[in-house]
Each structure stands twice: as structure tokens, then as C-alpha cells.
Amino acid sequence: MQNHTTPNHGQVILINKPLRWTSFDVVKKIKFAIRAGKIGHAGTLDPLATGLLILCTERMTKQIDTYQGQEKEYTGMLVLGKTTPSVDLETTFDAEFPTAHITEDMIQGAAQALTGTIEQIPPVYSAVKVDGKRAYHKARKGKTEADVGMKSRTVTVSEFEITRIDFPADAPETIVVGFRIVCSKGTYVRSLVRDFGTALQSGAYLAELCRTRIGDFRLEDAQSVEDFVNEAKKQQANESVA
């Protein structure tokens, strides 16, 4: 079982969040499995994202803010030529855009333009609070970023690497772009995707996203929810026999 401290002082648990689970779903499942009194996570992942989720229990919950502030790495795939209100596949397509003018050099240039210290507006489908209410509540009523009054924030994208560019023969109106991003706390990858499409005079949505690192914690050291729960049950059974 992934455990970076002693149970009496709390644990730092690394979980590979499953697709379509909320971060709270994971917290609830792990809390029940280990019968934790206090538990929290260090950085929300959207339901349609997978990857590294850090959970802290008991006294280690005091470290959550520290872990949240660390650099993060993501890999994913975006698609040029269409948009959705949520900038991912949580919502249906709402517009189509031209892609015939886009070249590989332009794609590389857009990534470079979004590297460094930049200003970005969080997506309206997010947990950012505006006037005391979560933005996504207003988004689900059809409100846009402008309607909600989303404010820009300064973030740092230290690396924006393009890992693949595909021009699908069966969907020539779209371009599939794979990427790897290293960024600071508060960076919304969906906002980067939205701005990436705009920079290319087109539109884009996020098709896949996986968080692979938070600080020195890496996805390859994480466990699935199922494996962690099974190990917790075995440990509790051994303790009861002892």
C-alpha cells in the first residue's frame, strides 16, 4: 500500500484516478476503505481526466497546500476543428471551425506562444468561485465566460511539447494533436486548449488528459483504487487476526 508516513501520523496516498470518477469519489472510497478520520486531496482532476491524485490523511492533511502548490505535468490529446462549451467531451459540440489552413509549423508556433508566464481565463465549466458560487453552476444554465465575469490569472507553462500531429483521413476536417505540458498551480489545461485553437484561428477541445506528475510524485508510483482497497482489506484482516 502506498504510504509515505506511519499510519498514526497519517498517510500520503498516490492514486491513479479512473476515468469518469470525480476526485471526491476517490476520496470517499479511500476514506471508507481505511476508516480515516480526516482525508483530502491535493488538486482536483476533472471527471474526464485520469492520472495522479495525491490523498493525505490525518496529520498529513496539513501538507495538502504544499503539494497543491507544486509543479504539475500532464499528457493529453486535443482536437482542432470543433469546440464544446466545456472545452472537453463533458458537453456536446457547439461549433465547427476551419482547419485546412493549419500547418505543423503553425501548431508548433501556437505551443511556443503559450509557453512561459501567461494570462489565462479559467473555463466557465470549472469550480472557480465567482460571487461566492461555483462557475459551473452558471455554465450549466447556458452562461459564458463573459456572462459569468471570469477573471484572468497569471500562470506559468514551463513546457508545452507537441508529441504528435495527425491529419485523420476519415475526418479531414479535424487535426489531432498530442501534447505534454508542465505547468504551475492554477493552470487550466482546458483553457490552454481553448486558447490554442484560437491562436490557430480555429477551435479546439480536449479529448484526453492524464496527470503524470505533481512535484516529485509520479504516476508510475500510484495504485488503482481497486488495488489500494484490496490491500487495505487484507491489512485489516491480518490486524484483526493478530
Per annotation, catalytic residue among 25, 46, 166, 170? 46
119 with 205, same domain? yes
Percent of the chain scored above 90 by pLDDT?
76
> Which domain CATH number covers 89?
3.30.2350.10
80 with 171, same domain? yes
Structural domain contains residue 91: yes
Residue 235 has pLDDT above 70, yes or no: yes
109: left (phi over 0), alpha (psi -120 to 50) or beta: alpha
94 with 123, same domain? yes
Structural domain contains residue 5: no
88 with 205, same domain? yes
102 with 173, same domain? yes
Residue 228 has pLDDT above 50, yes or no: yes
Angle subtended by helix axes 104-113 and 189-199, to nearest 10: 130
22 with 107, same domain? no
Enter the pTM of the model.
0.90
92 with 208, same domain? yes
Are the C-beta atoms of residues 113 and 153 closer than 8 Å to each other? no
161 with 115, same domain? yes
111 with 200, same domain? yes
Span 85-133, pLDDT tens digits: 999 999 999 999 999 999 999 999 999 999 999 999 998 877 677 666 6
161 with 228, same domain? no
Residue 142 has pLDDT above 80, yes or no: no
Domain containing 180: what range?
A: 72-214
* pLDDT for the residue numbered 49: 97
62 with 146, same domain? no
46 is a catalytic site residue: yes
Strands 72-80 and 217-218: unpaired
Structural domain contains residue 149: yes
Are the C-beta atoms of residues 191 and 120 closer than 8 Å to each other? yes
Structural domain contains residue 42: yes
